[in-house]
Amino acid sequence: MENKNTDPKEVYTEYNEKFDKKLMIDHDYDGIKELDNPPPPWLMWLFYFTVIWSVWYLAWFHWFDMGRLQEADYAHELEEAAEKYKVTAMDEETINILTAEEDLNRGSEIYKKSCVACHGDAGQGGIGPNLKDADWIYGSEIKDVFGVIKNGTDKGMTSFKSLGDEDILKVSSYVLKKL
């Protein structure tokens, strides 16, 4: 099969005219014609999947209320955290210092994990204040130390409520008895 046209522009134009006639739609507006150029199948399947997913999502979360929305999910996570950390409310005014060796040992473990970075390994201070001297900013009674560890301060001490009241009491007792 021999092509009479040797000019590439003419070959290209001839090919496009034959091909475009198959895709031409009967729309004609001021001499402008429209081609039927459908989107690729993978894009159409993605669109169909998105429509089906949105209907399922609306049914699951809004029409039948089977799923948890953000507010309910947040409340559920708060309940799980409270259960995990077993946050119990001790009365800071009536707590007593612990003297049992096992409680002080547990307080020592917690101190080494959480407090050494700021207060030093022997309570000598550093970033945080010295715990060995007699001058304490917020008081040196068990209720004062317990309150500072639990609630933190505005001078850089962060709150350690996540430890739980029992462990906070053990650390407070360790600081007062051993340091």
* Residue 131: pLDDT band with limits 50, 70, 90: confident
Closest CA to 142 of 119, 114, 173, 112: 173
Mean pLDDT in residue range 103-123: 91
Give residue 24's pLDDT: 72
pLDDT tens-digit series, residues 20-76 = 666 777 777 788 877 777 899 999 999 999 999 999 999 999 899 888 889 989 999
Contacts of 164 (CB under 8 A, 6+ apart): 85, 86, 87, 88
Global pTM? 0.53
Burial classification of residue 170, based on how many CB atoms lie within 10 Å of its CB (0-12 exposed, 13-18 middle, 19 or more buried): buried
Report the Cα–Cα distance between both ends of the chain, in Å, rounded.
Answer: 101
Residue 86 is which amino acid? Answer: K
CA distance 138 to 140: 7
Domains of the chain: 101-178 (1.10.760.10)
Provide the residue type at 117 as one letter.
A
% of the chain exceeding 90 in pLDDT: 31
Residue 4 has a pLDDT of 61
